[in-house]
Homo-oligomer: A and B are copies of this chain.
Amino acid sequence: MTTSALPVLTAFEQSPDGGRGLARDMRVRWALEEVGQPYELRPLSFAAMKSAAHRALHPFGQIPTYQDGELRLFESGAIVLHLAERHPGLLPAEANARARAIAWIFAALNTVEPPILDLFNAKVLEREQPWHRQRLPLVEERVRQRLDDLSARLGGADWLEAGFSAGDLMMISVLLRLRPSGLLDGNPALGAYIARGESRPAYQRAFASQALPS
């Protein structure tokens, strides 16, 4: 393990999405850009991700991981929360508002993302299975239910709570994984919400950094 003056983030050497910004390192890059924290990127091959050395950092052999001095973190939610707690800009100062912004991080990861992961499994991993075509509408319906609930809550607001927070960063990152499916097309309010996230300069810097060949 080399030492580095900057925090080190791991990401796919060859992202399966071909640089569309849908891998889980992107949400951490976005948070790093929002708080103005420079970092060193360490790209990993699929073989390296499953190595014992990397599993010491990430027990499930995935990306991203984050190392800052003695601190070694895994899980994009934990890394984003860590950054949001240690830098201004991603969480409100008032305690209750802060707790609510953090609740949206969890809602993104534990309520909205699971059916989206299931949709990915259905569309990619189970594409050749005999049940693929018949099962897909059922999986899509579970995603749509979450989108409807989220859209109803968002209403005409710009962000989920009073101002942009790590909760929006995570929710938008999770929703973006749906873009290739077309399921967002039927929901202009969520489409506009995602576009507001993407138009942030920090998002654009993060996207550019991952879209470039490493």
Contact = CB atoms under 8 A, between A and B. Distances in A.
B150 A59 contact: yes
Interface in A123-169: 126, 129-131, 134-135, 138, 142, 146, 149-150, 152-153
B152 A59 contact: yes
A168 to B, nearest CB: 14
Nearest to A95: B71
A107 interface: yes
A158 to B, nearest CB: 16
Interface string A57-74: 001111000000011111
Number of copies: 2
A73 B146 contact: no
Contacts of A149: 55, 59-61
B60 A111 contact: yes
A110 B107 contact: no
A99 interface: yes
A54 interface: no
Given A118-B121, A129-B135, A103 B73 contact: yes
B110 A77 contact: yes
A151 to B, nearest CB: 10
B111 A113 contact: no
Contacts of A99: 71, 73, 78, 82
Contacts of A138: 126, 129
A75 interface: yes
Nearest to A96: B71
15 contacts: A55-B152, A59-B152, A73-B103, A76-B110, A78-B102, A78-B107, A106-B109, A109-B109, A109-B110, A110-B110, A114-B114, A129-B135, A130-B131, A130-B134, A131-B134
Interface of A: 55, 59-62, 70-79, 81-82, 95-96, 99-100, 102-103, 105-107, 109-111, 113-114, 117-118, 121, 126, 129-131, 134-135, 138, 142, 146, 149-150, 152-153
